[in-house]
Structure 1
Amino acid sequence: MERRKFIEKASLATAFSALFPFLSNANGYRKDHTFNLNYAPHFGMFNQSAGKDLIAQIEYMADQGFKALEDNGMMGRSIEDQNKIAKALERRGMKMGVFVIDGGDNWKKSLTTGKQEFSDNFLSTCEKAVEVAKRTGAKWMTVVPGFYERNLPLGIQTANVIETLKKASDIFEPHGLTMVLEPLSDTPDLFLRFSDQTYSICKAVGSPACKILYDAYHMQRNEGNLLANIDKCWSEIAYIQVGDNPGRKEPGTGEINYLNLFKFLYEKGYDGIVGMEHGLSLGGIEGEKRLIQSYIDSDKFK
């Protein structure tokens, strides 16, 4: 290329970038925004922009400024894939968020029953989770105690859950790992549904290895009053997840004021992970761009 034409094109590009700093980079979005919190997408959120390769998706997430990754299904991945994911996260300076302790559908094989076989199955899976966490650099694992046991009083069910979680804490605590209990809204048959209920269980277990995963989507549906309830349960909350309600899509698509919520977390000094536990309101690349923009908009509190 002639020197004069090269200078003209370079000058034009510089001026264009100065006028429109928010426009896309080669991957389709801007890189100039630095997030205040550690938002964590999950695999599949950026299939249209990055393709289906897991490592390419991590690279794309990092390029957009995201500082962490969630992968509920990590325990089901091959050791080879787990190692590849860990190396990619380390290379890009990203943290590994939660994965689910999955030992054969504990939603139905509930810890509330007090049945030894269910407790043994869960604790065996916790042992396996330790190895997965070591490979991937994860520090938190999601736990769902399961369904109500209608034939037992609520207090007995609660005691059964606490007893098993104490044993699980003994597995995780020596490794500096934390299981995070998630109250859910998917069905009223689930035992764990409210933040204060989860708080009381964590207090009873009495271990740094047993804390709360506070998902704002589920808690908006079950109890509302998000900021006040987060504040009351703060000492036992180790992990945050989000999704707007109704619809469980990105911030700005429902009734939750995520600008206020994220500001609240930031001012509380929260430096943990904010898991993006939701879907997208639009399909295709445009939907993925809208997803990123929703977090940029909700993160503009300082």
Structure 2
Amino acid sequence: MKLGFLTTCLPESDLTDIARWAAGQGFEALEVAGWPSPDDRNHIRVDRFDDAERDRVGRIFAETGLTLSSIAYYENNLHPEQGAQVNAHVRRCVDAAAALGCPTVGTFVGRDPGLPVADNLKRAADVFGPLVEYAARHGVQIVIENCVMKSWHPDGYPGNLAYSPELWEWMYTLGLKLNYDPSHLVALGIDPVAALRPHLANVAHVQAKDTEFLPGKLDRYGFHGPISGEKGWYRFRVPGLGRVDWTRVIDVLYEGGYDGVVSVEHEDPVWSGSTARVQTGLGIAYRTLRHLMPG
């Protein structure tokens, strides 16, 4: 296994600076943001990917010795108005990944909030069938993070139809693979280790994020959270500062033969606000995880 992180936590930094810092800290991989402009999460310029951009990114990884584990573009592929543009950008991410020798592109299934779940699943089959086929022709796998994305639904219901093991089984039938993130399972009351074991063969990428329960909030709001604009009953933290049992998670991954990248997804509000604070948070995650991982 290799330890890396997702570059979205450092939107104001250049990929060269991120990679040099990561290598100097002992990280071995990067999951690189590939959103289109004007979004600042575009450390790889997928929307204008050409030979010069391929050479620039390739040179950064060659000079630092890091592995490019995935190109990240986590958006709603079933959005009722913008879905076609999202699907087209996923294809551009696949093109860039293939040119760079990157094995995966990470995204969300998403959801049309105006349709029942059953209708969304039918739409997803129509959308992802061609995308998965396109990726396979280019030697790339599309991996889906199991994030709930409640913010995509007007009533706070799951906005990404890949949040539970039941839905993972469904998405495998479309040829999609799992980008496993235990933090979201904790927030759903699902044991992340018990959920992981039956799905190890379909885990193609791993994200590492932790979940902290806020005192007294769950008893007031329940699992669905508040109906007002107040913050919910949990918040995300860097690994080591929440409830995920990382010793068990890494051990189960190792026992199951996973030899890919574990990518820290830094969304910790405590260790945010400046580059230095984000880097400190990444350092906490590194010290939590590195000694648990073989290799």
Q: Is the pair's TM-score, using the shorter chain for normalization, greater than 0.5?
A: yes
1:162 touches 1:201 (CA, 8 Å); kept in 2?
Answer: no
Partner of 2:26: 65
Instruction: Say which of 286, 290, 296 aligns to 2:287.
Output: 296
- Alignment partners' CA distance in 2, 1:82 and 1:184: 30
1:178 Cα deviation (Å)?
0.6
Count how many residue pairs are aligned between Structure 1 and Structure 2.
251
1:236 corresponds to which residue? 202
* Contact 1:195–1:214 (8 Å) recurs in 2: no
More helix by share: 1
| Greater Rg by CA | 1
Query: What are the ranges of 5 or more consecutive residues in structure 1 without an aligned counterpart?
Result: 1-36, 111-116
What's the offset of the Cα at 1:251? 1.3
Are 2:239 and 2:284, in contact at CA under 8 Å, matched by a contact in 1? no
Say whether residues 1:221 and 2:191 are aligned partners.
no
Counterpart among 241, 248, 254 of residue 242 in structure 2: 254
In the aligned structure 2, how far is the partner of 1:287 from the partner of 1:171?
Answer: 36
C-alpha distance in 2 between matches for 1:57 and 1:157: 38
1:199 aligned partner, one-letter code:
W
Per-residue CA deviation, residues 58-82 of structure 1 (Å, 9 max, x unaligned), is: 0121122211101233554254555
Partner of 2:60: 88
- How many Å apart are 1:142 and its aligned residue? 1.8
Matched residue, 2:101: 137
Instruction: Provide the residue aligned with 2:171 in structure 1.
Output: 202
CA distance in 2, matches of 1:299, 1:263: 12
Alignment of 1:71-110 (within 5 A): 71-73=32-34, 76=42, 77=45, 79=49, 80-81=52-53, 83-101=55-73, 106=76, 109-110=79-80
Cα 1:43–1:169, aligned 2, differ >3 Å: closer, same or farther?
A: closer
Give 1:242 shift.
1.4
Q: Distance in 1 between matches of 2:258 and 2:278?
A: 28
1:38 aligns with 2:2: yes
Residues 127 and 53 from structure 1, CA distance in 2 versus in 1: closer, same or farther, beyond 3 angstroms?
closer
After superposition, the Cα gap between the structure-2 partners of 1:84 and 1:223, relative to the gap in structure 1 and judged at 3 Å, is: farther
CA RMSD of aligned residues (A): 2.9
Q: Are 1:126 and 2:90 matched, yes or no?
A: yes
Give how far 1:287 is off: 6.1
Amino acid of the structure 1 residue aligned with 2:139: G
Q: In structure 1, what is the Cα distance between the partners aligned to 2:114 and 2:91?
A: 29
Greater strand proportion: 2
Query: 1:113-166: per-residue Cα shift (whole Å, max 9, x none)?
Result: xxxx866545433332222213433221122222244444x3232122122211
Shift of 1:259: 2.6
| Matched letter for residue 109 of structure 1 | H
Partner residue of 1:282?
271
Q: TM-score, normalised by structure 1?
A: 0.71
SS at match of 1:70: strand
**Residue of structure 2 in register with 1:168 after alignment:** 131
Alignment of 1:176-191 (within 5 A): 176-187=139-150, 188-191=157-160
CA distance in 2, matches of 1:174, 1:290: 38
Deviations 1:17-64 (CA, angstroms, capped at 9, x unpaired): xxxxxxxxxxxxxxxxxxxx31222337579xxx93421220121122
Match of 2:161 in 1: 192
